Structure 1
């Protein structure tokens, strides 16, 4: 089947404080601000249209929107929203997007930057154990941003066994 999909352009993350979140992504992952669609305090946004477009809970106001880039991979679009009914970030057992993963070359350095920026690790790096992912040095660990989003740090320097079964490949920076 032919598709026009080329890959993930960006992920959107709702955060309680866009300045704190921007600083976290800069310190933890070397992200840089590309542009601000809506500056904090700007009145240049149609809240009614945004409620319809994003299916926001009635009364929710977008305070700021900012696009970041990482050294490699999709962009990260931060939304600071405030509304009468906001929940906590999804847990892995909840429906919907549950985490995003970042490829790292050095776990020690990545974890130090993550925790120095205010993140909390759930696990230490451990080997990828699913049969199609195993390989020397292939590992992952999980942590949480200051506002509660789950982040996976992953690295697979060795070829994965699935590569012997198909020509399809996971994206790797």
Structure 2
């Protein structure tokens, strides 16, 4: 029995919660589910929190927000104070490097413009996906968010094809009405 249902959320630390929220709302139609930590609350830190979350001494969470995007995984965002923070710079860096949003093919250019208007900067022009994703009408582009994280916009309207030794099919979010 497979007890793993799939990805629930992706954690993302941002330098400014409101800038990130504004980008995700305007650029990708994100919606706030809840704030489990607000700036008006006592910051979440101290020895116990440092221990259970692996934080550096003195770092504390000042804002934590869950955002919803269509019917895919949610994004849980964190804003810290008193933390020494580095930043992933490019796709070759170790760690989680980007979040990919599936976009309807007929809306791809419109969504890209929406993301740019929200402060995103495309790294290149939209281009074809790579092997197994390069079916008719496919398209992808990486965009830097206002705080520097990579966001991918992708469409594969005619689905994937798979090698003979494939063990599973890739999840593609289905259409929904909001």
| Counterpart position of 2:115 | 114
Question: For structure 1, which segment, 65-74 or 90-99, has the greater mean C-alpha deviation from structure 2 after superposition?
Answer: 90-99
* Residue 114 of structure 2 corresponds to residue 104 of structure 1: no
Q: Which residue is 1:126 aligned to?
A: 127
Q: Provide the C-alpha distance between the structure 1 equivalents of 2:157 and 2:101, rounded to a whole number of angstroms.
A: 14
Map Cα deviations across residues 111-158 of structure 1 (whole Å, 9 max, x no partner).
11111111111022111132x222101121101111111011110001
Question: 1-side partners of 2:16 and 2:168: how far apart?
Answer: 39
User: Does the 8 A contact of 1:29 with 1:113 survive in 2?
Assistant: yes
Point out the more displaced range, 18-27 or 35-44.
35-44
- Cα deviation for residue 84 of structure 1 reads 4.2
Q: Report the count of equivalent residues.
A: 171
Gap runs ≥5 in structure 1: none
> What's the counterpart of residue 70 of structure 1?
69
The answer as to whether partners of 2:43 and 2:60 remain within 8 angstroms in 1 is no
Q: Output the TM-score relative to the length of structure 2.
A: 0.88
Partner of 1:152: 152
1:41 paired to 2:20:
no
Runs of 4+ off more than 2 Å: 44-50, 163-167
- Whether the aligned pair in 1 keeps the contact of 2:44 and 2:60 (CA below 8 Å) is no
Distance 1:44 1:99 in 2: 28
Structure 2: how far apart are the matches of 1:112 and 1:15? 23
What stretches of structure 2 of length at least 5 have no aligned partner? Answer: 174-178
Per the normalisation by structure 1, the TM-score is 0.90
What CA distance in whole angstroms lies between the structure 1 residues aligned with 2:46 and 2:143? Answer: 33
